[in-house]
Amino acid sequence: MDHPVTPPRERLRAAYLRDESEALDALIGEARLPAESARRVQDRARALVEEVRTRQKAVAGMQSFLREYDLSSQEGVLLMCVAEALLRIPDAATADKLIRDKLSQGDWERHVGRNNSLLVNAGTWGMMLTGKLVSLDAVSAGNAGAWLARLAARAGEPVVRVALRQGMKLMAEQFVMGRTIGDALERSRSAEHAAYRHSYDMLGEAAFTAADAERYFAAYEHAIDAIAAHRIEGASSVFQRPGISIKLSALHPRYEYAQRGRVMDELVPRVQSLAERARRGDVGVTLDAEEADRLELSLDIFERVFASSALQGWEGFGLAVQAYQKRSPFAIEWLAEIARRERRRIMVRLVKGAYWDSEVKRAQMQGLSGYPVYTRKANTDVSYLACARRIIEAPDAFYGQFATHNAHTVATVIERMPAGQPFEFQRLHGMGDDLYDEVTRMGHACRVYAPVGSHEDLLPYLVRRLLENGANTSFVNRIADSTIAVESVVADPVAAAQSNATAANPKIPLPRDLYGDRVNSAGFVFADEAASSPVLAKIASFASRTLERVADAAPADAHRALEVASRARIPPAPERARILERAADLIEANGARFMALLAREAGKTLPDGLGEVREAADFCRYYAMLARRHFAQPEELTGPTGESNRLELVGRGPFVCISPWNFPLAIFVGQVSAAFAAGNPVVAKPAEQTPLIASAAVEVLLEAGVPRDALALMPGPGETVGAALVSDPRTAGVAFTGSTATARAINRALAARDGPIVPFIAETGGLNAMLVDSSALPEQVVADVIASAFNSAGQRCSALRILCLQEEIAPRVIDILAGATAELRLGDPARLDTDVGPVIDAQALHILEEHAAKMDREAKLICKATQPHALKGGLFFAPRAYEIAGLEAIDREIFGPILHVLRFAGPDLPAVVDAVNAKGYGLTMGVHSRIEETVEMVRAKACAGNLYVNRNMIGATVGVQPFGGEGLSGTGPKAGGPHYLFRFANERTFTVNTAAAGGNASLIAGSE
Ligand SMILES: Cc1cc2nc3c(=O)[nH]c(=O)nc-3n(C[C@H](O)[C@H](O)[C@H](O)COP(=O)(O)OP(=O)(O)OC[C@H]3O[C@@H](n4cnc5c(N)ncnc54)[C@H](O)[C@@H]3O)c2cc1C
């Protein structure tokens, strides 16, 4: 049973993107210590730092290595890239390429001899890397680059590869406790661990498939049993005994807000079962904290399991709370309420948070009204201190577990903690050892978070740790850097936060202000219920309304509309810009209405609908900005003295805009707003399938102030209305998005007209490929493939049609792809949990079914999503993938969720690019590779308008990824790009001989 939402939970919800200054103000008082206490904290922290620095000098090890190659150096970043990819690359040739690629770029020599560390010294690189090649050291003592080159020359690339792999494993081992839980438990008995408790973490990231989730579940079960059997003398309570950390994302392939129903039904029982097992062995369980949009879901899961009757009376079930999130104090408040309701303590692990950079990036991409995390390090620290105080002051509700490597944070917790109150510190294995050797000597308990797993599983974790160690704001980085004064390392974050002129970091603009020259479109995340609930409620209210009908126009109407348009008075550019900006605001204000219409008329899912609303608003603001920049005043041109020369851009006359059904709002508004921004009246013909959305868009544009005679909507069939518009002599230009065949027909019709030759801007389809070499991360590839091929039921011109996989990585990618496709849900697009809605109409469905039947005969079916029985007979088509033997199997764009997969041998990659080019299309292309040389090869060869590297290949952002192709895919210029408006305009120059009236006065006046 779900418990009612209580006031603390309401507060938590309201704080998702809370204003940073407001959030900070509320916490400063709680975090601040009385002067006397603050002084003691400072002294204690200073002593700890000095002690750690003294010891570090003695053992120059991994820490100095990481500091030398920190992320402010190019070499540090390169090393991280090698570390991220090398161990997982299955084939030698690609591994060697990666090494060459990365090692050829850095200035490795400059690191040599700067540090006493054995690891930094080039000679011992050899030792670190191979343990065998010591004899090479002498020749290379002063020159790492030369050493590597010589090593490669002498021993050959395979040796360097083996050496580097070995080096990476060493680096990895720094952060891993053991390859198996048995190894890790054994190691915990060693002297270096004697003073510590442990929480074991079974490495591996999110599950993509049901099979992954099963595997992780089994690994957790096995680990719990092993930990339970591991006896520790004197450890009487669950707090003292070793425990386990669990990642919810590893236990369910769809652990996400949109799938809440499924998650509560399927994931809760799994967590429950693990928790009960753990209780039987008295093994403490902590749920790790993950991305911000999963916070509430994780709290719901936690509450369900914590409150279950099977766990009554047991205090071994806890969770992590991230202080960098603005909601963290309210999470603590809410947890205290749960603990008191259930009458037992919760183990709360307070961390600062490990995903800060990705939270910031995501918020910017999503156009959120703020950030879910703080934007200054000091603010995160203040939040941590305030949250720590809340935990410490609620001993009836919490067993506090303070996870930090920061000496100031540690010293503050010690200062605040009442004598005798049980608590513990926590640190990550391989980090903060020196600090905690000292802190445990002071008598405080500390638990080590101990990752367990193979090297391949550890890569994402390793990268997070390298980021943490390498970030120059991070405490572990600063404590190791003796050039930073101790006083600065232990500076009081409360004072630091207060001394900042603004609470928020001015270097990180709010997502809305990202672009500087225009406002970013507003978005929200569905997981932010305070923002999404009102929108979803509005969408639901629209869903029950009867749809109106829009009558088709006749060819005579088309001619009349052009007649009216040709006489329209178009406002000057600044006014047009203001109108378009108002239109953008109105589109956003009507977002729910548009999303509802998009779902009903075009079968678009809610996230797709939101994306489209945002894109439409972006188009309006972007073209408004360009209109002001290029159309508001003439450009002065330089020429001989005594003459003035100006270039002016003016509208051409009535523009016909013909838009498709697959982006019935965004492309419709994009074309119309561009034509209008450039000073033209517009006659717009929407797709036959989506006139209602177009009509709603026109309503909004007129309300924003587009003059009535400057915008006419002409719904109707292309063959009649479209043809009439295109052939009319008053049409001064055509912007078209749709099929290549229709573009050709329009082109011919325009060519057949007498009179002026007019511009034709066409954006058509593509046969888009993604090329994946074996350095790519299979999970990331699959996430991007699913989004690129199956989002919007594959009905995007940018959608992925051909996935080309290097043969060594193909089996793994195909395996995950099959599992992930099986997790997709088809259904009503107006439901948040629907991934794939219907295709647009019966004809589209028929084409897809025909092609699928052909593929069933000629290719190998790899996977297919399940189509629920209830959807049979509708317009649904289950996403699927086929393996094809060669590119000849597909020659034209099939507009829907059918993916073709082709394997290739590594050396053939350039030939694959040529073969894709030879198809004649040139819209989008994707590459997944960690090797820059490979990416550069593809970039140089690819005939594609939009090339995406290591990401999905859909959802081009206006002004950021201007969109449009070449060859059979379109004429350009690119929509949403800086050159687009020029094609809609005439250019006029205006030359005045200023010397005509009696001489060149200005020249004479300026002479010496
Ligand atoms: C036992 C243990 C368990 C952990 N479990 C989790 C977990 O479940 N989930 C999780 O996310 N992390 C987890 N972590 C990782 C943890 O978040 C980091 O190790 C931690 O943030 C480092 O904090 P610190 O006090 O050691 O370092 P500090 O250097 O004092 O602080 C680093 C923190 O400041 C943040 N920061 C840096 N720059 C800025 C900025 N400009 N604005 C705002 N904040 C900034 C960083 O993102 C980071 O959170 C765990 C750590 C430990 C020790």
Ligand 1 atom closest to Cα of 384? 25
What DSSP string describes 786-846? HHHHHGGGG-STT-EEEEEEETTTHHHHHHHHHHHHHT--BS-TTSTT-SB---S-HHHHH
Ligand 1 atom closest to Cα of 505? 41
Residues in the chain: 1008
3-state SS, 321-378, equals: EECCECCHHHHHHHHHHHHHHHCCCEEEEEECCCCHHHHHHHHHHCCCCCCCECCCHH
* pLDDT beyond 60 at 138: no
557-570: average pLDDT? 97
Q: State residue 153's pLDDT score.
A: 60
Contacts with 773 (C-beta within 8 Å, 6 or more apart), sequence order? 94, 806, 809, 906, 909, 928, 929, 931, 934
Task: Give yes or no for a cis peptide into 715 (omega within 30° of 0).
Answer: no
Please pick, among 763, 779, 823, 893, the residue that the annotation labels catalytic. 763
Strand 655-658 versus strand 880-883 pairing type = unpaired
**DSSP state for residue 304 in the 8-state scheme:** H
3-state SS, 921-951, equals: CCCEEEEECCCHHHHHHHHHHCCCCEEEECC
- For the chain, the average pLDDT equals 92
Confidence of residue 812 (pLDDT cuts 50, 70, 90): very high
Contacts with 156 (C-beta within 8 Å, 6 or more apart), sequence order? none
Residues facing 322 on adjacent strands:
351
* pLDDT beyond 50 at 588: yes
Nearest CA to ligand 1 atom 38: 377
Confidence of residue 108 (pLDDT cuts 50, 70, 90): low
Q: State residue 128's pLDDT score.
A: 40
Specify the higher pLDDT residue, 2 or 276. Answer: 276
Nearest CA to ligand 1 atom 37: 377
Q: State residue 135's pLDDT score.
A: 37
Confidence of residue 462 (pLDDT cuts 50, 70, 90): confident
- Lowest-confidence region among 134-138, 346-350, 546-550: 134-138
Q: State residue 173's pLDDT score.
A: 74
Cβ pair 802, 769 in contact under 8 A: yes
Q: How much of the chain exceeds pLDDT 90, in percent?
A: 80
Please pick, among 446, 797, 804, 863, the residue that the annotation labels catalytic. 797
CA of 655 to the centre of ligand 1 (A): 55
**Distance between CA atoms of residues 137 and 274, nearest Å:** 51
Nearest CA to ligand 1 atom 20: 352
CA of 41 to the centre of ligand 1 (A): 20
**Distance between CA atoms of residues 901 and 774, nearest Å:** 15
Q: Which amino acid is at 886?
A: G
Residues facing 658 on adjacent strands:
685, 736
CA end-to-end distance (rounded Å), the chain: 91
* pLDDT beyond 90 at 911: yes
Nearest CA to ligand 1 atom 4: 351
- Find where tokens 């408006």 sit: 981
Strand 733-737 versus strand 898-904 pairing type = unpaired
CA of 466 to the centre of ligand 1 (A): 12
Confidence of residue 57 (pLDDT cuts 50, 70, 90): low
Tokens read off for 888: 């000849």
Cβ pair 140, 147 in contact under 8 A: yes
* pLDDT beyond 50 at 119: no
Confidence of residue 124 (pLDDT cuts 50, 70, 90): very low
Measured from the Cβ of residue 1000, the count of other Cβ atoms closer than 10 Å reads 17
Pick the closest to residue 770 from 940, 922, 927, 896 (CA basis).
927
Ligand 1 atom closest to Cα of 475? 29
CA of 928 to the centre of ligand 1 (A): 29
**Exposure on the CB side of residue 499, measured as CA atoms within 13 A:** 7
Ligand 1 atom closest to Cα of 286? 8
Which of 377, 426, 434, 463 gets mutated to test ligand 1 (max ligand atoms within 8 A of its CB)?
Answer: 377
**Distance between CA atoms of residues 702 and 775, nearest Å:** 52
pLDDT digits (tens, 9 = 90+) for 627-638: 999 999 999 999
**Distance between CA atoms of residues 982 and 656, nearest Å:** 16
**Distance between CA atoms of residues 23 and 372, nearest Å:** 11
pLDDT digits (tens, 9 = 90+) for 769-785: 999 999 999 999 999 99
- 797 carries an active-site annotation: yes
**Distance between CA atoms of residues 838 and 387, nearest Å:** 47
Measured from the Cβ of residue 854, the count of other Cβ atoms closer than 10 Å reads 14
726-732: average pLDDT? 97
Residue 705 φ/ψ region, left for φ over 0, alpha for ψ in the -120 to 50 degree band, beta for the rest? left
Strand 346-351 versus strand 398-403 pairing type = parallel
Which of 350, 380, 383, 465 gets mutated to test ligand 1 (max ligand atoms within 8 A of its CB)?
Answer: 380
Measured from the Cβ of residue 831, the count of other Cβ atoms closer than 10 Å reads 14
Q: State residue 203's pLDDT score.
A: 87
**Distance between CA atoms of residues 927 and 944, nearest Å:** 12
Secondary structure (3-state) at 392: helix
pLDDT digits (tens, 9 = 90+) for 267-314: 999 999 999 999 999 999 999 999 999 999 999 999 999 999 999 999
Cβ pair 347, 317 in contact under 8 A: yes
* pLDDT beyond 90 at 247: yes
Ligand 1 atom closest to Cα of 476? 29
Which of 324, 351, 476 gets mutated to test ligand 1 (max ligand atoms within 8 A of its CB)?
Answer: 351
**924-961 as b/e, with b when 16 or more CB fall inside 10 Å?**
bbbbbbbbbebbebbeebbbbbbbbeeebbbbbbbbeb
CA of 952 to the centre of ligand 1 (A): 28
Query: 218: burial class by Cβ within 10 Å (0-12, 13-18, 19+)?
Result: exposed
Measured from the Cβ of residue 361, the count of other Cβ atoms closer than 10 Å reads 11
Measured from the Cβ of residue 392, the count of other Cβ atoms closer than 10 Å reads 17
519-537: average pLDDT? 97
Q: Which amino acid is at 866?
A: T
* pLDDT beyond 60 at 535: yes
CA of 5 to the centre of ligand 1 (A): 29
Nearest CA to ligand 1 atom 8: 288
* pLDDT beyond 60 at 118: no
Strand 423-428 versus strand 898-904 pairing type = unpaired
CA of 29 to the centre of ligand 1 (A): 22
CA of 407 to the centre of ligand 1 (A): 13
**Distance between CA atoms of residues 345 and 423, nearest Å:** 12
**607-639 as b/e, with b when 16 or more CB fall inside 10 Å?**
bbbbbbbbbbbbbbbbbbbbbbebbeebeeeee
- Lowest-confidence region among 99-108, 306-315, 566-575: 99-108
Ligand 1 atom closest to Cα of 405? 26
Tokens read off for 197: 């408790």
pLDDT digits (tens, 9 = 90+) for 309-322: 999 999 999 999 99
Pick the closest to residue 200 from 379, 402, 447, 23 (CA basis).
447
Cβ pair 394, 371 in contact under 8 A: no
pLDDT digits (tens, 9 = 90+) for 476-510: 888 888 899 999 999 999 999 999 999 999 999 99
- 763 carries an active-site annotation: yes
Ligand 1 atom closest to Cα of 356? 47
Pick the closest to residue 428 from 419, 436, 420 (CA basis).
436
**Distance between CA atoms of residues 48 and 405, nearest Å:** 11
Q: State residue 77's pLDDT score.
A: 72
Secondary structure (3-state) at 715: coil
Cβ pair 944, 925 in contact under 8 A: yes
| Separation in Å, CA 38 to CA 385, 423, 425 | 12, 21, 20
Q: State residue 157's pLDDT score.
A: 66
Strand 643-651 versus strand 635-637 pairing type = antiparallel
CA of 353 to the centre of ligand 1 (A): 4
**Distance between CA atoms of residues 994 and 644, nearest Å:** 7
Handedness of CA 173, 174, 180, 182 (dihedral sign): positive
Q: State residue 334's pLDDT score.
A: 98
Helix or strand holding residue 480 (H, E): helix 475-480
Tokens read off for 585: 């605001």
Pick the closest to residue 492 from 572, 595, 382, 570 (CA basis).
382
Question: Which residues have C-beta atoms less than 6 Å from ligand 1?
Answer: 288-289, 320, 322, 324, 349, 351-356, 374-377, 379-380, 403-406, 409, 426-428, 449, 468, 473-475, 505
Confidence of residue 454 (pLDDT cuts 50, 70, 90): confident
Confidence of residue 172 (pLDDT cuts 50, 70, 90): confident
Cβ pair 499, 377 in contact under 8 A: no
* pLDDT beyond 50 at 34: yes
Q: State residue 146's pLDDT score.
A: 59
Cβ pair 674, 984 in contact under 8 A: yes
* pLDDT beyond 80 at 141: no
pLDDT digits (tens, 9 = 90+) for 435-446: 999 999 999 999
463-468: average pLDDT? 79
**DSSP state for residue 401 in the 8-state scheme:** E
